[in-house]
Each structure stands twice: as structure tokens, then as C-alpha cells.
């Protein structure tokens, strides 16, 4: 169905005259008549009856009018959804409690006029495919895993380096420490059941283990953060790593401790990935916001695997 013919029909219905509708649409009266006639042929009904005063809707025309108006509204919404600057910026933050989610909340507070859609994708391959298809505009990731470089059409900008902390229960041997060196973690069991093989965060922790001789266990099912916190609180032999910016709430009776790690401080480097040809103007605003509100990267006394550095 020709939307211009539908628009012309609605204009004639509102004007009550073909000539006035032609003036409103800045076309000739003959063009108005041709469009309405074509629409009538498509529908197989007459939409107007000509009268000395102009044009009156037939019964079929009256029945079609509300649907025609809705067709035009849907078409406008469809165009608006992809028009530069009008479509919401779609950003993948991996999960709702991590550093990336916090960064986007800060961006939204600083730029409330920019519409956002926040999504949570799992692995980096899914995120990159979504960036290349245009279904998302940006994704927060640790760039890529070793041996799997980003495609040439995907840009990566370092966003924030998140220091790791050790999370323990109240009866853990290290629970009373104000801070810990990486060397002091050697020999202690660090339990992280969410380390799915093949993910960029699993690759990060593999390198951390290799570099510092730590013991990280990923055994057992991953029942989510609440179950992890329950286990850490009740098991003196276990601890886990937690990002400094990760927002978690646990019952007061758990008595959990978040202990900074130093000498060096392992940091998880979140980067913002986007497609090189993505024209959404809010992407530039987001990159500028991150550059001006987050700390410097690769500062002395911190550690991160070399493969996580954006090219």
C-alpha cells in the first residue's frame, strides 16, 4: 500500500475538498485525484463521494480513516526509530550490577536528554555480532581473548580500569586485613563459579593465575551472586574476587569483608566497543563522558594482561 496515497486520503478527509488538500500537500489537484483513485483501486472500494461542497467520506471511507491514520503514525515511529539522533542508544553492559552498568547510570545522570536502551549480552562473540549487525551501538568488554583479535571494523576505547578486591566471610584467615598484596593470596582458595570457559573474563583470570601463582576454582554450578555470597559467608576456607565498582547487597549477618589488593593491584580493564561506521551521535558523547570521568589507565602499581589493551 502506497503510504503517500494513504497520507493524501487522510488530508482530503480532513480538508473536505480535493483542492484544499492539494494546497496543503503542495501538489496539484490532479495528483490528489490520481493518488486517491489508486488507493481506491488497491482497496476495491470508493472512499469519497463528490458533492457541490467538496468530498464526503463514504461508509467505507469512514471505516478506513482511523486505520489510515494509524498506518501513518506507525510509519512515523518506524522512521524515527532509525533517524540519526532520534533512536535510543543501545549499550550492552553484560550485567546489571557491574562497573559498566554504573558507568551508564552516571552517563544518564549527566545526559538525561539522551534516550538509552541497556541490554545484557553474555559472550564477546555475541556482542561483536550485534555491533556488526547494528542491533546494539556499543558494548563494554575486556576487548578480546588471546588469539581472537577484534575485527578491523570494531573500535575499542579503554573505558575504566576496575581494581579487584578480595571478598571473604568473617571467619576467613584474611578477613581482618585492611589490604592484601597479591603474594599474600597465594595458597588461599579463590572460588569463582561464574568463570565460563571461552569468555574474556575467564581468559583474564587464567592470566592472573599464571602471573601470580594463585589458586582460582571455578567448580560447581553458578547459582548467581546471591548464592555465591551465601557460600563465601558460611565457608571460612573460600574467598572470591569482586570488582571495586560491583554493587552487591548482602544480609548484615553475613559479615562479609571487601579487602583491597595491592602490590600490584590487579585491575579489570573495561573497554567500550563500537562499530567504526556507526553514525549515532550519542556515541561520541558517551566516549567523551568516559574520557573525562574515569581514571587514567595503566598507572604504576597496577596489573592487567597485555592482550586486554585496545589497539
Please provide residue 99's backbone torsions phi and psi, each rounded to the nearest 5 degrees: -60, -40
122/95 Cα distance (integer angstroms): 8
Residue whose C-alpha cell reads 595503566 in the numeric block: 298
Q: Which of 205, 138, 179, 189 is nearest to 265 (CA)?
A: 179
**Strand 257-262 relative to strand 180-181: parallel, antiparallel, unpaired?**
parallel
Question: Which regions in the chain score pLDDT beneath 50?
Answer: none
Structure confidence at residue 124 (pLDDT): 86
Please provide residue 192's backbone torsions phi and psi, each rounded to the nearest 5 degrees: -140, 80
Structure confidence at residue 103 (pLDDT): 94
Structure confidence at residue 42 (pLDDT): 94
Structure confidence at residue 79 (pLDDT): 72
List the end-to-end C-alpha distance of the chain, in Å, as a whole number: 49
Q: Which three cell numbers stand for residue 222?
A: 553458578
Helix (H, G, I), strand (E, B) or coil at 142: coil
Structure confidence at residue 86 (pLDDT): 66
Amino acid at each position: 500500500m502506497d503510504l503517500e496515497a494513504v497520507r493524501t486520503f487522510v488530508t482530503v478527509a480532513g480538508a473536505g475538498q480535493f483542492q484544499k488538500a492539494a494546497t496543503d500537500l503542495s501538489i496539484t489537484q490532479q495528483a490528489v485525484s490520481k493518488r486517491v483513485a489508486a488507493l481506491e483501486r488497491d482497496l476495491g472500494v470508493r472512499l469519497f463521494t463528490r458533492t457541490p461542497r467538496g468530498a464526503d467520506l463514504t461508509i467505507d471511507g469512514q471505516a478506513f480513516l482511523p486505520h489510515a491514520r494509524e498506518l501513518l503514525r506507525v510509519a512515523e515511529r518506524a522512521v524515527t526509530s532509525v533517524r540519526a539522533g532520534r533512536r535510543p542508544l543501545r549499550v550492552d553492559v553484560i550485567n546489571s550490577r557491574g562497573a559498566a552498568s554504573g558507568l551508564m547510570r552516571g552517563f544518564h545522570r549527566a545526559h538525561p536528554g539522551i534516550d538509552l536502551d541497556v541490554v545484557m549480552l553474555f559472550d564477546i562473540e555475541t556482542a561483536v555480532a550485534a555491533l556488526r549487525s547494528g542491533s546494539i551501538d556499543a558494548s563494554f568488554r575486556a576487548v578480546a581473548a588471546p588469539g581472537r583479535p577484534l575485527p578491523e571494523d570494531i573500535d575499542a576505547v579503554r573505558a575504566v580500569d576496575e581494581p579487584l578486591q578480595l571478598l571473604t566471610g568473617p571467619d576467613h584467615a584474611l578477613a581482618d586485613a585492611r589490604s592484601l598484596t597479591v603474594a599474600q593470596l597465594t595458597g588461599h582458595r579463590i572460588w569463582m563459579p561464574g568463570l565460563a570457559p571461552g569468555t574474556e573474563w575467564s581468559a583474564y583470570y587464567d592470566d592472573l593465575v599464571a602471573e601470580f601463582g594463585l589458586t582460582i576454582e571455578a567448580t560447581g554450578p553458578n547459582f548467581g551472586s546471591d548464592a555465591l555470597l551465601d557460600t563465601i559467608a558460611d565457608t571460612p576456607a573460600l574467598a572470591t574476587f569482586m570488582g571495586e565498582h560491583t554493587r552487591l547487597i548482602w544480609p548484615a549477618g553475613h559479615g562479609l569483608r571487601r579487602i583491597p589488593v595491592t602490590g600490584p593491584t590487579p585491575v579489570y580493564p573495561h573497554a567500550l566497543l563500537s562499530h567504526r561506521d556507526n553514525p549515532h551521535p550519542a556515541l561520541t558523547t558517551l566516549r567523551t563522558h568516559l574520557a573525562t570521568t574515569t581514571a587514567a589507565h595503566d598507572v604504576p602499581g597496577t596489573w592487567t594482561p597485555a592482550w586486554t589493551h585496545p589497539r
